Structures are given as C-alpha cells and as structure tokens.
Amino acid sequence: MKIDSRLKVIHVSCYSGYKADERPISFTLLGRELMVEEIIDRWYGPNNSFFKILANDNKVYLIKYDQDEDQWTLEKIMGLKLR
C-alpha cells in the first residue's frame, strides 16, 4: 500500500537499552497510538534501521529510523497478519 507523504513522518516511542532508540515500542498514526506487539524482522543500514512490526491493530508495518535526521518514517503498511 502506497503511503501518503503527509503520513510518512511518525512519532515513535522507543526502548533504549545499550543504545538510544534501540527498538520501537509504540507509534502514533493519524492521532492513534499503536503498540508494537512483535518485531517480525529488523535490519540495519549504515545510517538507518528498519523494523517490520506487528501492531496491536493486527496490521504489519515497515518503519525506518534515520540516525542522521533523527527521524522515524512509515515506509509501508503491509496489511493484516492472520493468526
């Protein structure tokens, strides 16, 4: 699903352990806070981190943290996860 550019930048609350913004625990989309139920996958680039997550609305999202910009973005809504 293509993301409207107005929705792309999101606010994310993170767990910070041995490093800042280690992993997302919740994010706000259209004024609604969604909790991260599961991190399905994660991978790292030289200046960014990607997280494929299952939120408590039972949808799978791909979000990215850009360390240079100190900014989180919603990259893709992947749809519902069947349990």
| pTM, 2 dp | 0.85
Between the CA of residue 27 and those of 22, 31, 54, 60, what are the distances in Å?
14, 10, 12, 13
pLDDT level of residue 4 (50, 70, 90 thresholds) = low
Q: Please give the mean pLDDT across all residues of the chain.
A: 88
One-letter amino acid at 47 equals N
Residues 6+ apart with CB under 8 A from 60: 40, 52, 53, 54, 77, 78, 79, 80, 81
Greater pLDDT, 35 or 79 = 35
**pLDDT (mean) for 8-36:** 90
